[in-house]
Amino acid sequence: MLAGMSVDVTRQTIHEAELVDALRDKSELAGQLEASQHLLQKFMENSPNTTFVKDDHGRYVFYNYSFADHLGIGRTAWIGKSDDEVFPKDAADAYIAQDLLVMESGQTMEFFDETKDAQGVLHRFRTLKFTYKGLDGRKLLAGVTADVTEQLRREEALAEANLKLEAQATTDSLTGLATRRVFESRAEIEFEVAKRKHRPLSILLLDIDNFKLRNDEYGHAAGDEALKVLGFVLKSCGRIGDVIARLGGEEFGCLLPDTDAEAAMTVADRVQGVLRGTAQGELPLTVSAGVACTTKPKHSWEHLLGCADDAMYAAKRAGKDRTVHHGDHIAGLISSMDSSAMLS
């Protein structure tokens, strides 16, 4: 009997020891949980981002120091209040609509908005809102807001700088015309379209006559002015869909889709006519022009451009201030060769 009692006492002692250990573990766990909650509370209170929690009626149950400091309110001034009690109507309506959307969907959502701080400085914010259950089982809505004003300013400045770089790459700063890069890119496209649809495509090249003499006699400012004038005249004579570019130095190019050689020659004559009627001081502003068209087989847009270039230099050699069509130039060369052969 004593042995049986001894066993029972031993079992009771073990049970009590296990209970003590369990209570100790529970106490330690509770302490750790309390410490974690305290740490989380302090983190949320002191976070540089604004944080807040609202109950299922949209009333603030918590907000941190950053939230209070940004809005210039006391640390507990808005506790128990809803957005329509503390914000202007437009802002309150927007925040309430966001909250309802998040509460109904149960999903984490991102929102952007702008508000002024206590000093009247405009700030731009990115807010993440989500729901969770409190210790009492109520559905709560939490928000974490980051001030992205400087980040967006940097991104906008970078985008603006990229646009300027792109503009510099595609637009000639002096004349406002397209650059050679743009001209060649479009020429490749238009050449393929013209070939596929059996439509004419012409290239008109123009080069200012006596440009070096103009710079030497009157200075580079006079040369720049001549470039600007020609650029303006070309733009005024161009059509929608034409590509007018400064190809480099004093050379300009016009890419003329759906334009045959005769129509391209007419454009060149119009430009030269306008220039002849423009006062340019002691040295007239004239251009030599060359035209090439796909009405005759060309291997590529580069071939077409080369033909126009040959015609332009033929115009220079023929006395300047005139336009030469590449087909006429080739015919003239053949005729000269035939005459030379007959004389020999």
Query: In the annotation, is 282 catalytic?
Result: no
DSSP letter string, 116-162: E-TT--EEEEEEEEEEEE-TTS-EEEEEEEEE-HHHHHHHHHHHHHH
What does the alpha-carbon distance between residue 36 and residue 342 come to, in Å, rounded to a whole number? Answer: 107
What does the alpha-carbon distance between residue 187 and residue 195 come to, in Å, rounded to a whole number? Answer: 12
CB 187 within 8 A of CB 240: no
Which two three-digit tokens encode residue 274?
Answer: 């306008």
What does the alpha-carbon distance between residue 298 and residue 56 come to, in Å, rounded to a whole number? Answer: 75
Residue ranges and CATH numbers for the domains of the chain are 47-170 (3.30.450.20), 172-343 (3.30.70.270)
Q: Which of 157, 279, 265, 141 is nearest to 203 (CA)?
A: 265
pLDDT values of the chain reduced to their tens digit, one per residue, 344 residues: 545 555 555 666 656 666 555 556 555 655 554 555 555 555 566 667 888 999 999 999 989 888 888 888 998 999 999 999 999 999 899 999 999 999 999 999 999 988 777 778 888 889 999 998 887 888 999 999 888 888 888 888 877 877 776 666 789 989 999 999 999 999 999 999 999 889 999 999 999 999 999 999 989 999 999 999 999 999 999 888 999 999 999 999 999 999 999 999 999 999 999 998 876 667 889 999 999 998 766 779 999 999 999 999 999 999 999 999 987 655 444 344 344 433 34
Which two three-digit tokens encode residue 194?
Answer: 């013209």
Strand 323-325 to 287-293 pairing:
parallel
Select which of 104, 192, 250, 262 is catalytic. 250
